[in-house]
Amino acid sequence: MSIFVKTSVPIKPITKSAPAVAILYAAIIVVFVVAQLFTFEKFIVIVENYALPGGVVLAHFLAAYLVTIEVFALPFLLRMRVSTALRVVSMICGWLVALLWLGISIWLVTSDSSVDNVGFLGDVVSLAPGWLSVFISLVLVGLGGWSSWGMWPFARKK
């Protein structure tokens, strides 16, 4: 018995398009996280302006949490050699990235906030909240779902 974690090779994808979709989703997440970290001080202010029910404490947590799960979503999407447990956590982080951005986009469209930037790309590029941001978030949900379905980390029973 070893106390060290054993890495494993990812299981063969169901379709040939799933890894390509996962790489596209990973590229989008990398652009998001680099832009958000490049202007992280301003990204925190952007999230504070969302006027979420939890106030400043939730805004600071959400800003750090978003960047963290975006980074942790990458090992699954890039089919890195990691442990099965980390692969599952990474897949779940990919879902959370898409769902959190969808929730934020819907919140900004339906609430009465005066935000001028959604924050997908931090403060580097400003994207006004609206139905375009909801559409972008839905695209992220689709990419995350397709990637998870096509590269499910456990063996499939026939």
Predicted local distance difference test score (pLDDT) of residue 26: 97
Q: State the pLDDT confidence band at 154, using cuts at 50, 70 and 90.
A: confident
Asked if 8 and 76 count as a contact pair (C-beta separation under 8 A), the reply is no
Q: Is the pLDDT of residue 158 over 80?
A: no
pLDDT above 70 covers what percent of the chain? Answer: 98
Cβ–Cβ under 8 Å, residues 132 and 67:
no
Is 4's pLDDT higher than 80? Answer: no
The answer, yes or no, to whether residue 114 has pLDDT greater than 90, is: no
Q: Considering the chain, what is the average pLDDT of its residues? A: 91
3-state secondary structure of 23: helix
If you average pLDDT over residues 12-35, what whole number do you get?
94
pLDDT confidence tier of residue 8, bands split at 50, 70 and 90 = confident
- Note the pLDDT of residue 2: 66
Give me the pLDDT at residue 80, please.
92
Q: Kindly report the pTM of this predicted structure.
A: 0.90
How confident is the model at residue 88, as a pLDDT?
93
Per-residue model confidence as pLDDT tens digits over 140-151:
999 999 999 988
The secondary structure element, H or E, covering residue 88 is: helix 84-110
**Half-sphere CA count of 25, side-chain side, radius 13 A:** 33
Q: How many percent of the chain have pLDDT more than 90?
A: 70
Q: What is the pLDDT of residues 95-107, one digit of tens each?
A: 999 999 999 999 9
